[in-house]
Structure 1
């Protein structure tokens, strides 16, 4: 009986978070209301309050759940690929596809909530900031692994060699292009933004690649972008 109650509680939690992730990607984390969500989903208000306790707890749980979705959609599919320039591009493809398919109805969840909490303080701000910093570090790591594997010009096979590639700068530029595509597509309902971003990223990677032929000529977008 105890196991049954736990499983029902876990299922209710998953149901609520699926709903709150979608709401937050459009209306922001401040748009979440425990009472309204319980009513919308036909759930017991007392049960939902027992699971989350406060609005801030619900916001934090929503950010963490969205992070798990992001990892499943973007990071995990390429994690086991060999280091190199192709892996860098496949990671970018996954991000553009994740945004374009509207895994979250408001586009990239973290782009949406970052604008809401960037100038605030507190646990929710810190959770969002940590998620974004971890993503940036991961992009930098994939780029650096490609550099050390000889994917970029400069003879970086030797880890002691200080290659010409500025990994942090390139990561910044790649993320900026992806996020601009997300913002433009959401605001203007223009799926071609993903193709433009993909072309920009490929151009930047090809200019620095040791073997540009390992990269496609053009991105395959907007194949999965919303109509």
Structure 2
């Protein structure tokens, strides 16, 4: 076997472990993500899995990073190229709702679940989750400020408050979908976000035309 092939196979194995790890963590939590659990799921030895990460915490951090890449692709990147300000903010919110509606992660919003699991546990995993949430909130905040300066939102808009309220709608949506299996919840979330952002419902709805057949599933 050539060194190049060996490196490629090692990378593929790591990618397979992470893909399985994201699925497991999404439904069973990051604490349910053990070397043994993954070894069984992948038909690998524990040492084979451990060799790619070194420790359970390193595995958890790698899975959080992999989940962040999926979130970026399914949410943040959907708004890329949209005019900054209210249009981009609306596109971000639209993609956020669509991501939950399409069940990109089998257990609902990966980061909502991970935050609830680690919010009172100090350490690197909590810091990573909190850091990713801060980056996303900061981007929402920037778009709100841009929209306010452009006159697309009222001049007295409290950007921090609006980020809080938008996030609250998404949390409520995730809860309704996961706990109650409420298929009407995405439409309710869109109406709520439309009111918050001042978009007429018909105009706001155009941002949500994502075909279920095109959805990326794990």
**Alignment correspondent of 1:46:** 47
- Take 2:12 and 2:143, find their aligned partners in 1: how far apart are those partners? 35
Kindly indicate whether the alpha-carbon contact (under 8 Å) linking 2:79 and 2:88 is maintained by their aligned counterparts in 1: yes
In structure 1, the residue matched to 2:107 is: 106
Report the more deviating stretch, 82-91 or 92-101.
82-91
Q: State the partner residue of 1:187.
A: 179
CA contact under 8 A between 2:108 and 2:178: conserved in structure 1? yes
- Listed as ranges, the matches of 1:8-157 within 5 Å are 8-153=9-154
- Contact kept in structure 2, 1:192 and 1:221, CA below 8 Å: no
Matched, 1:203 2:195: yes
Query: Is the CA contact (8 Å cut-off) linking 1:199 and 1:219 kept in structure 2?
Result: no
Q: CA, structure 1 residues 39+143, in 2 after alignment: closer, same or farther (shift >3 Å)?
A: same
Corresponding position of 1:159: none
The 8 Å contact of residues 22 and 105 in structure 1, kept in 2 or not, is answered as yes
Range that drifts further, 139-148 or 181-190: 139-148
RCO higher in 1 or 2 (8 Å CA, sep ≥ 6)?
2
Aligned pair count reads 213
Q: Which runs of 5+ in 2 are unaligned?
A: 213-218
- Counterpart in the other structure of 1:173: 165
User: 1:150 offset after TM fit, Å?
Assistant: 2.7
In 1: Cα distance, 2:17 partner to 2:64 partner: 13
Question: Partner residue of 2:204?
Answer: 216
Task: Specify the SS of the correspondent of 1:119.
Answer: coil
CA distance in 2, matches of 1:6, 1:55: 23
Q: Whole-Å Cα distance in 2 between the matches of residues 217 and 70 of structure 1?
A: 21
Deviation, structure 1 residue 218: 8.7
- Partners of 1:81 and 1:220 lie apart in 2 by 14
Give the TM-score, by structure 1 length: 0.86
Deviation at 1:53, TM superposition (A): 0.9
Taking structure 2 as the reference length, what is the TM-score of the superposition? 0.89
Q: For 1:166 and 1:80, how far apart are their aligned partners in 2? A: 26
The answer for the alignment partner of 1:156 in structure 2 is none
CA contact (8 A) 1:199 1:218 kept: no
